[in-house]
């Protein structure tokens, strides 16, 4: 694909993410990440977005969670949904129950918790349990690495900037924090063709991640969508990487999987076959646990089959014993007649 062909979808991706900024804070081993999303949403919509990323709305409480929240909220203003849910604001003797609203909790800079109506649209939300893959694919901002030692032990290749209970790493021009290890720097470019990074004597050259050598001094972008990707439905090649998406009626989960949206299929026809969708089958397909009633029915069927098998075995054994006794009697009668 030529340069313009790659730049156009890249710019479209930027426009699509405008107003939906994502910034991550991760432990230094990258096993635990949290993210802040500056995108207006009510409580339920925020929870759904977090679950699409494989996480949940972030709950304050533990020292680690509180430090992470405080770090993510640095340089922000406004209120963000957290995972804390307050008691229902209605009492049993309320005069107008229709006017009652469920109450949820928001958090703002300074760790201020506020009760808000769950239907309100706030400035954004905080997610916990987000995977490093999700954060690395959306590195529009530097990832904060959570470490109380900050920059004191020189963890970064080039530059280290303290941020709250952690730090971010910076790199020289044409380099960025690595998507495998953000403490290290890697060469990158924004075109589908770029010069290789070579040593002074040109004896050693390397290409940016997601690129392959075209000739001695140039690299070309790899189209992962043609072979090397894990998208369940739709793959979009980007410069140096790729992104997955899903067809209408499905939600993207963990960056690559697509699961049916029950709210979309409820009472509608399938887009492909035109037949009615069985909601219970969608539940099973999406990996949800079967209801206790289903398990009880299966257990009764299995026990009935075992009981029937036991009765059959006992009947066959009894019949075999009776036939054996009859044969012995016949032999004894024959012997008496001969005598």
pLDDT tens digits, 141-152 = 789 999 999 999
Does any domain span residue 328? Answer: no
Nearest to 213 by CA among 194, 199, 227, 229: 194
Res 284: pLDDT? 36
**pLDDT of 331 strictly over 70:** no
User: What per-residue confidence (pLDDT) applies to 339?
Assistant: 43
The CA-based angle 234-37-145, given to 5 degrees, is 100
Domain that holds residue 273: 244-303
Q: Give pLDDT, residue 278.
A: 41
Q: What are phi and psi of 265, to 5 degrees?
A: -85, -15
Instruction: Check whether 293 has a pLDDT greater than 80.
Output: no
CB contact set of 216 (below 8 Å; sequence gap of 6+)? 196, 202, 205
pLDDT over 70, % of the chain: 71
Highest-confidence range of 109-118, 162-171, 248-257, by mean pLDDT?
162-171
Mean pLDDT along residues 135-162 = 88
Give me the pLDDT at residue 122, please: 95
Question: Measured between alpha carbons, how far is 210 from 52 in angstroms, rounded to an integer?
Answer: 25
2-6, 111-115, 148-152, 189-193 — most confident range: 148-152
Classify residue 320 by its DSSP letter: H
Tell me if 278 is assigned to some domain. yes
Handedness of CA 279, 285, 287, 291 (dihedral sign): positive
CB-based contacts of 19-22 (< 8 A; 24+ apart in sequence): 21/140, 21/141, 22/135, 22/138, 22/140, 22/141
258 is a domain residue: yes
- The confidence score (pLDDT) of residue 144 equals 95
Query: Encoding tokens for residue 264?
Result: 């979309």
| pLDDT tens digits, one per residue of 62-117 | 888 999 999 999 989 999 999 976 655 454 444 444 445 688 999 998 878 899 99
Residue 284, H or E segment:
helix 279-285
Given a cut of 60, whether residue 283 has pLDDT beyond it is: no
CA atoms lying within 13 Å on the CB side of residue 301 = 6
**C-beta separation of 199 from 187 below 8 A:** no
Mean pLDDT for 179-201 is 87
Residue 166, pLDDT > 60, answer yes
CA 38, 44, 47, 53 torsion-angle sign:
negative
Of 187-191, 237-241, 327-331, least confident by mean pLDDT is: 327-331
Count up the domains in the chain and report the number. 1
d(CA 38, CA 146): 20
Instruction: Quote the pLDDT of residue 200.
Output: 83
Lowest mean pLDDT among 153-157, 215-219, 243-247: 215-219
Contact 92, 58 (CB under 8 A): no
Residue 256 lies in a domain: yes
Is residue 291 one of the residues assigned to a domain?
A: yes
| Residue 124 predicted with pLDDT over 90 | yes
Residue 281 covered by a domain: yes
Q: Report how far residue 34's alpha carbon sits from residue 50's, in angstroms, rounded to the nearest whole number.
A: 10
Percentage of the chain exceeding pLDDT 90: 33
What is the pLDDT of the chain when averaged over all its residues?
Answer: 76
Asked, for residue 6, whether it belongs to a domain, the answer is: no
CB 104 within 8 A of CB 84: yes
- Give the single-character DSSP code of 273: T
Statement: the pTM of the whole predicted model exceeds 0.95? no
Q: Are the CB atoms for 205 and 199 separated by under 8 Å? A: yes
User: What pLDDT does residue 179 have?
Assistant: 86
The pLDDT-based confidence of 16 (bands split at 50, 70, 90) is: very low
pLDDT value for 268: 56
Distance CA 164, CA 153 (A): 16
Confirm whether 252 is domain-assigned. yes
- Stretch among 39-53, 116-130, 167-181, 257-271 having the lowest mean pLDDT: 257-271
Q: How confident is the model at residue 25 (pLDDT cuts 50, 70, 90)?
A: very high
């Amino acid at each position: 694909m030529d340069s313009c062909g790659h730049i156009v979808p890249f710019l479209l991706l930027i426009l699509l993410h405008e107003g939906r900024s994502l910034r991550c804070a991760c432990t230094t081993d990258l096993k635990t990440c949290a993210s802040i999303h500056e995108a207006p949403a009510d409580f339920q919509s925020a929870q759904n977005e977090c679950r699409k990323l494989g996480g949940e709305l972030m709950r304050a409480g533990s020292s680690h969670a509180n430090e992470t929240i405080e770090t993510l909220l640095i340089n922000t203003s406004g209120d963000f949904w957290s995972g804390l849910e307050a008691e229902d604001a209605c009492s049993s003797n309320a005069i107008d129950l229709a006017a009652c609203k469920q109450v949820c909790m928001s958090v703002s800079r300074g760790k201020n918790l506020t009760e808000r109506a769950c239907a309100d649209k706030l400035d954004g939300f905080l997610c916990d349990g987000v995977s490093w893959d999700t954060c690395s694919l959306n590195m529009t901002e530097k990832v904060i690495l959570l470490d109380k030692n900050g920059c004191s032990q020189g963890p970064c290749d080039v530059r280290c900037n303290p941020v709250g209970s952690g730090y971010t790493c910076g790199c020289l021009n044409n380099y960025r924090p690595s998507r495998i290890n953000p403490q290290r720097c890697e060469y990158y470019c924004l075109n589908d063709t770029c010069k290789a990074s070579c040593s002074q004597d040109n004896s050693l050259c390397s290409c940016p991640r997601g690129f392959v050598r075209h000739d001695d001094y140039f690299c070309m972008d790899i189209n992962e969508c043609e072979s090397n990707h894990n998208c369940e439905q739709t793959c979009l090649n980007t410069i140096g990487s790729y992104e997955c998406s899903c067809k209408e009626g499905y939600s993207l989960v963990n960056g690559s999987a697509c699961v049916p949206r029950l709210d979309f299929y409820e009472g509608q026809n399938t887009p492909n076959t035109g037949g009615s969708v069985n909601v219970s089958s969608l539940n099973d397909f999406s990996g949800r646990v079967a209801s206790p009633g289903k398990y009880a029915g299966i257990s009764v069927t299995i026990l009935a089959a075992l009981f029937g098998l036991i009765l059959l075995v006992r009947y066959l054994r009894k019949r075999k014993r009776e036939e054996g006794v009859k044969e012995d009697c016949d032999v004894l009668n024959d012997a008496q007649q001969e005598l």
